[in-house]
Amino acid sequence: MAATGTPAPSGGQARRMQIGEAAERVGLSIRTIRHYHDAGLIVPSARSEGGFRLYTDSDLHRLALVKRMKPLGFTLEEMRELLTTIDTLAAEPRTDGERAVFLDRLAMYGEAAHARIGSLREQLAIAEGFADTLHQHLERHTQQVG
């Protein structure tokens, strides 16, 4: 199967925009979006005759989703899997067995997310502590001068 195909176009004819507009809209660099393509994370719905990547709103949603995932520190590979997992679940029911598998995956990502949040909190605490230390240094040395 092709890495991460966009699900069914929602309704009317999808607007197709080039990478530049897509980039501006989601707030990612063109280079980043191309990289996501190369990595098989988000494959544009189509190409122009000349070879330009064409993105739909659906693609934009995925890009936005990935942008939101980034702070969780997942690798592109992991995000790719999560995306396909979500898509698969959102699409057809398939076998009950398959559903179970994908639900499991989703749950695993949920746990991973919580773990990430935990370490983000730790990092924040450490960072704050360190900032304090810095300020103490500053005050100490400032006193002697002023």
- Which one-letter DSSP state was computed for residue 42? S
Binding-residue pattern over the window 55 to 94 for DNA, x denoting contact by CB under 7 A: ---------------x---xxxx-----------------
C-alpha pair distances (Å), 146 with each of 131, 132, 133, 135: 22, 20, 20, 16
- Least distance CB 143 / a second copy (angstroms): 11
14 vs 101 by CB, closer to DNA: 14
Provide the phi-psi class of 92: left if phi over 0, else alpha when psi is between -120 and 50, else beta.
Answer: beta
Strand partners, 46: 54
Kindly state whether residue 109 participates in binding a second copy, applying the rule CB under 8 A: yes
CA distance 95 to 88: 11
Kindly state whether residue 91 participates in binding a second copy, applying the rule CB under 8 A: no
Kindly state whether residue 98 participates in binding a second copy, applying the rule CB under 8 A: no
C-alpha pair distances (Å), 12 with each of 8, 64, 78, 139: 11, 21, 32, 63
Question: Where on the chain is the footprint of DNA (CB under 7 A)?
Answer: 18-21, 29-32, 34-36, 39, 48-53, 70, 74-77
Question: Where on the chain is the footprint of a second copy (CB under 8 A)?
Answer: 68-69, 71-72, 86, 89, 93, 96, 99-100, 103, 106-107, 109-110, 113-114, 116-117, 120-124, 126-131, 133-135, 137-138, 141-142, 144-145
